[in-house]
């Protein structure tokens, strides 16, 4: 993503004779002194008029971006006294760089409760973007490296029980005699990554999962699915994929990995367990959560519930007139197992995003007669182009060779405030358009309605704003351009006995209809668990208020409700792609640990809820 991270139009500039390191050192020392002396105005003066401070839990106990000096002032007025920041030092292991008039530096710092890591971009000696992240809590550091447990008591101990016996006993008590501090609902990659982090921090956590095994949410998806994101972007916390792991792993391979991850990380996982209803007991400060554990009703009483039920978990199943009379097979994409049995038969796939393309291509490969119905424009980006122009600078072998570890890449990614992220991305997608002009031309000639996002900022911004509306092309687009997968634009008006009728009167005969119509908002799960009122109190999840399709304003600067305190006490949301599951589980786990230990965690900058569930 190197190109993505060079802001357009900054222009070259000379910053006097000082070296980039001197410039950064001077800024950081002075900024640190202003903070340590509690001088808000002096600290504010370290920011450019147009500037952004993104804080991941370190100052705000929230995930929060503020803008410009006024925003910085507000953040400091609200947090400085409690945060007690100190010890700002440039990271000696990291180079300070300068390009196009922007100096970039990495630094460490402390707060009263923790140790942090940060990144700053300076323009004309003032902060343009600042990232501060909480990395660990003082006195509650992860027990790793020199702090690892011994694992055995050497010597003689009468009645000694083995590790396995003690583990079995603890497993049997958990959820009955011993209550977990945190229950994570959902055992996909999100739930597992968070549970692994909590385990390291010594927070008793239990995952409850509808499916039998960890990773089954991937296993149950359509047969042809491979990850669309490359391996370097996909690692889970602590246990990276081996270095011969394929760039784009198959979904069953990922499912296997998740299953083994849960056992290697010794996560407490209840499979075949459905969370049925939950209510918060204000007086006791705990949840009453009723689950069905393989037929047995169990009441859990955790302090916190984390909804890790998936951004793409609750199928959005459309209701069209006449569906009940259709004589063939109709299913949502999440129920579609694969193309077997459809050779020589007619399939109509409603939708034109990732799942629709993958399913169409797999059906075509097996000899089905396939028609895709495109209801609205879709962003297409070729996988190779995405890798080379957008992701490769941060997540690739080349990036690793350049010293950009996964952790560093995640932090660089996090250092770009959402408000201006599209400005970083637009040139990348302009370059993609130019590079793949012939490809896009052929697609449009085949009648495909293309877009690059409402402001031309492409894939990742669409993902953040609405979590849908794109396909990373791994071949299906060629089939469409060649007319091998037939394409029909329009809205479904009804389902007939033998096919799909569109609003222009066309009838598409079908033996199989797949509704690749996406997934509904994450807090749809809350309606099931706690009722509509609770879901409305929490409001919409995901999106930042960009005022683009499916992401209504006002602007809130961060993903709504994700990884931070919500409007309901002790209720949290976690999820997203593998990168987000890895990166943000860190900040959520620290918030949960701090609360378990009774640390002072004043949350600053909570957003108003603007949109109901
Ligand atoms: C077709 C497709 C392709 C994708 N490709 C990629 C990709 O290439 N790279 C990437 O990073 N992401 C991809 N994603 C997006 C995302 O990473 C996945 O959806 C991923 O599975 C999300 O993980 P999760 O843990 O947040 O949720 P999920 O994997 O959806 O897990 C949620 C779990 O919650 C469980 N659950 C729900 N309700 C309850 C309840 N009441 N009680 C108990 N359990 C419950 C479900 O059974 C499920 O297992 C893709 C998504 C889809 C649909």
Same domain, 531 and 582: yes
In this prediction, residue 381 carries a pLDDT of: 98
Cβ 265 under 6 angstroms from ligand 1: no
Cβ 235 under 6 angstroms from ligand 1: no
Residue with CA closest to ligand 1 atom 1: 355
Same domain, 458 and 580: no
Distance 375 CA to ligand 1 centre (A): 24
Q: Calculate Rg over the CA atoms of the chain.
A: 25
For residue 472, the ligand 1 atom closest to its alpha carbon is 8
Distance 308 CA to ligand 1 centre (A): 8
Cβ 274 under 6 angstroms from ligand 1: yes
| Residue 606 in domain | no
Distance 191 CA to ligand 1 centre (A): 10
Cα distances from 358 to residues 169, 333, 363, in angstroms, run: 45, 10, 9
Distance 151 CA to ligand 1 centre (A): 34
For residue 228, the ligand 1 atom closest to its alpha carbon is 8
Residue with CA closest to ligand 1 atom 15: 577
Q: Which residue has the tokens 């990850």?
A: 227
Distance CA 160, CA 153 (A): 10
In this prediction, residue 226 carries a pLDDT of: 96
For residue 248, the ligand 1 atom closest to its alpha carbon is 8
Distance 229 CA to ligand 1 centre (A): 14
Q: Which long-range contacts (CB under 8 A, 24 or more apart) does 387-392 make?
A: 387/230, 389/3, 389/4, 389/428, 389/431, 389/432, 389/435, 390/1, 390/3, 390/4, 390/425, 390/428, 390/432, 390/458, 390/459, 390/460, 391/1, 391/229, 391/230, 391/232, 391/233, 392/1, 392/2
Same domain, 357 and 500: yes
| Residue 610 in domain | no
Q: For residue 289, how many other CB atoms are within 10 A of its CB?
A: 25
Pocket test for ligand 1, best of 206, 233, 309 (most atoms within 8 A of CB): 309
User: Is the Cβ–Cβ distance between 192 and 257 less than 8 Å?
Assistant: no
Pocket test for ligand 1, best of 175, 183, 189 (most atoms within 8 A of CB): 189
- CATH number of domain containing 508: 3.50.50.60
Distance 309 CA to ligand 1 centre (A): 7
Same domain, 583 and 493: no
Cβ 468 under 6 angstroms from ligand 1: no
For residue 358, the ligand 1 atom closest to its alpha carbon is 1
Q: Which two tokens stand for residue 325?
A: 């009379």
Cβ 580 under 6 angstroms from ligand 1: no
User: Is the Cβ–Cβ distance between 470 and 378 less than 8 Å?
Assistant: yes
Same domain, 479 and 378: yes
Count of the separate structural domains present in the chain: 3
In this prediction, residue 311 carries a pLDDT of: 85
Helices (H), 202-347: 216-219, 251-264
CA 363 vs. chain centroid, Å, equals 30
Q: What is the DSSP letter of 361?
A: H
Residue that is last in its domain, among 515, 530, 555: 515
Same domain, 364 and 495: yes
The list of the chain residues with pLDDT below 70 reads 1-17
Q: What is the 3-state secondary structure (H, E, C) of 368-419?
A: CEEEEEECCCEEEEEHHHHHHHHHCCCCCHHHHHCCCCHHHHHHHHHCCCHH
Distance CA 114, CA 125 (A): 28
Distance 249 CA to ligand 1 centre (A): 16
Distance 141 CA to ligand 1 centre (A): 30
For residue 528, the ligand 1 atom closest to its alpha carbon is 41
Residue that is last in its domain, among 451, 481, 515: 515
Q: Which two tokens stand for residue 508?
A: 């598409």
Q: Which two tokens stand for residue 153?
A: 């008591």
Cβ 208 under 6 angstroms from ligand 1: yes
Distance 40 CA to ligand 1 centre (A): 43
Same domain, 91 and 166: no
Residue with CA closest to ligand 1 atom 41: 275
| Residue 572 in domain | yes
For the segment 425-456, what is each residue's pLDDT rounded down to a tens digit?
A: 999 999 999 999 999 999 999 999 999 999 99
Cβ 217 under 6 angstroms from ligand 1: yes
Total-model pTM: 0.95
The DSSP annotation for 299-330 comes to EE--SEEEE---TT-SB-----TTGGG--SEE
Cβ 351 under 6 angstroms from ligand 1: no
User: Is the Cβ–Cβ distance between 65 and 417 less than 8 Å?
Assistant: yes
Pocket test for ligand 1, best of 183, 212, 217, 250 (most atoms within 8 A of CB): 217
| Residue 188 in domain | yes
For residue 227, the ligand 1 atom closest to its alpha carbon is 8
Distance 189 CA to ligand 1 centre (A): 7
Which of these, 193, 197, 200, 243, lies nearest to 215 by C-alpha position?
Answer: 193
Same domain, 332 and 194: no
Residue that is last in its domain, among 87, 120, 137: 137
Q: What are phi and psi of 119, to 5 degrees?
A: -145, 140
In this prediction, residue 16 carries a pLDDT of: 53
User: Is the Cβ–Cβ distance between 555 and 419 less than 8 Å?
Assistant: yes
Which H or E element spans position 477? helix 476-481
ω before 554 within 30° of 0 (cis)?
yes
Distance 12 CA to ligand 1 centre (A): 44
Distance CA 426, CA 532 (A): 38
| Residue 583 in domain | yes
Pocket test for ligand 1, best of 188, 195, 228, 581 (most atoms within 8 A of CB): 188
Q: For residue 49, how many other CB atoms are within 10 A of its CB?
A: 9
Strand partners, 184: 207, 306
For residue 229, the ligand 1 atom closest to its alpha carbon is 8
Cβ 333 under 6 angstroms from ligand 1: no
Range of the domain at 359: 323-515
| Residue 612 in domain | no
Same domain, 396 and 500: yes
Burial of 161 (0-12, 13-18, 19+ CB in 10 A): exposed
- CATH number of domain containing 59: 3.10.450.50
Residue with CA closest to ligand 1 atom 29: 188
Distance 78 CA to ligand 1 centre (A): 36
- Cα 163-166-168 angle, rounded to 5 deg: 105
User: Is the Cβ–Cβ distance between 290 and 303 less than 8 Å?
Assistant: no
Cβ 211 under 6 angstroms from ligand 1: yes
Distance CA 304, CA 595 (A): 10
| Residue 152 in domain | no
Same domain, 336 and 474: yes
Same domain, 511 and 528: no
Cβ 427 under 6 angstroms from ligand 1: no
Cβ 209 under 6 angstroms from ligand 1: yes
User: Is the Cβ–Cβ distance between 217 and 191 less than 8 Å?
Assistant: no
| Residue 555 in domain | yes
Same domain, 542 and 569: yes
């Amino acid at each position: 993503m190197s190109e993505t991270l060079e802001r357009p139009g900054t222009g070259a500039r000379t910053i006097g004779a000082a070296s980039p390191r001197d410039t950064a050192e001077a800024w950081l020392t002075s900024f640190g002194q202003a903070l340590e002396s509690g001088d808000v105005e002096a600290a504010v003066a370290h920011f450019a008029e147009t500037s952004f401070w993104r804080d991941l839990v370190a100052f705000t106990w929230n995930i929060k971006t503020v803008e410009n000096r006024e925003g910085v002032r507000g953040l400091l007025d609200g947090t400085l006294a409690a945060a007690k920041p100190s010890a700002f030092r440039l990271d000696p292991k990291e180079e300070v760089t300068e390009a196009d008039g922007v100096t970039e530096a990495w630094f460490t710092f402390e707060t009263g409760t923790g140790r942090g890591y940060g990144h700053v971009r300076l323009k004309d000696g003032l902060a343009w973007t600042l990232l501060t992240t909480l990395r660990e809590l003082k006195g509650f550091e992860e027990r790793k490296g020199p702090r690892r447990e011994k694992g055995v008591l050497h010597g003689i101990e009468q009645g000694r029980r083995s590790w396995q016996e003690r583990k079995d006993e603890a497993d049997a008590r958990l959820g009955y005699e011993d209550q977990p501090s945190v229950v994570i609902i959902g055992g996909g990659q999100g739930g597992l990554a968070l549970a692994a982090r909590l385990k390291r921090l010594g927070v008793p956590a239990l995952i409850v999962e509808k499916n039998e095994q960890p990773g089954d949410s991937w296993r149950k998806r359509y047969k042809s699915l491979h990850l669309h994101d490359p391996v370097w972007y996909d690692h889970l916390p602590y246990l990276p994929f081996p270095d011969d792991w394929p760039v784009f792993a198959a979904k069953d391979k990922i499912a296997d990995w998740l299953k083994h991850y849960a056992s290697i990380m010794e996560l407490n996982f209840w499979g075949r367990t459905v969370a049925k209803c939950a209510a918060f007991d204000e007086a006791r400060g705990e949840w009453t959560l009723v689950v069905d554990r393989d037929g047995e009703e169990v009441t859990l009483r955790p302090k916190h519930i984390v909804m890790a039920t998936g951004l793409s978990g609750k199928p959005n199943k459309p209701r069209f007139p006449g569906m009940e009379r259709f004589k063939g097979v109709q299913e949502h994409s999440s129920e579609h197992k694969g193309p077997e049995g459809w050779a020589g038969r007619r399939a109509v796939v409603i939708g034109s995003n990732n799942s629709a393309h993958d399913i169409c291509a797999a059906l075509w490969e097996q000899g089905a007669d396939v028609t895709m119905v495109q209801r609205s424009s879709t962003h297409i980006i070729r996988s190779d182009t995405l890798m080379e122009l957008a992701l490769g600078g941060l997540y690739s072998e080349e990036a690793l060779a350049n010293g950009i570890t996964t952790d560093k890449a995640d932090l660089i990614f996090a250092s770009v405030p959402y408000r201006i992220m599209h400005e970083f991305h637009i040139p990348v997608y302009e370059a993609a358009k130019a590079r793949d002009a012939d490809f896009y031309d052929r697609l449009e000639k085949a009648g495909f309605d293309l877009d690059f996002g409402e402001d031309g900022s492409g894939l990742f911004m669409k993902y953040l704003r609405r979590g849908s509306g794109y396909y990373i092309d791994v071949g299906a687009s060629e089939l469409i351009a060649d007319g091998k997968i037939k394409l029909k634009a329009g809205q479904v008006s009804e389902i007939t006995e033998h096919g799909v009728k569109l609003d222009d009167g066309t009838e598409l005969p079908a033996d199989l209809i797949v509704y690749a119509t996406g997934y509904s908002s994450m807090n749809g799960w809350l309606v099931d668990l706690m009722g509509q009122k609770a879901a409305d109190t929490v409001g919409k999840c995901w999106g930042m208020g960009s005022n683009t399709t499916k992401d209504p304003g006002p602007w809130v600067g961060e993903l709504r409700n994700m990884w931070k305190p919500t409007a309901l006490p002790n209720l949290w949301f976690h999820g997203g792609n593998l990168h987000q599951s890895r990166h943000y589980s860190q900040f959520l786990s620290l918030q949960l640990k701090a609360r378990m230990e009774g640390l002072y965690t004043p949350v600053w900058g909570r957003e108003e809820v603007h949109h109901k569930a």
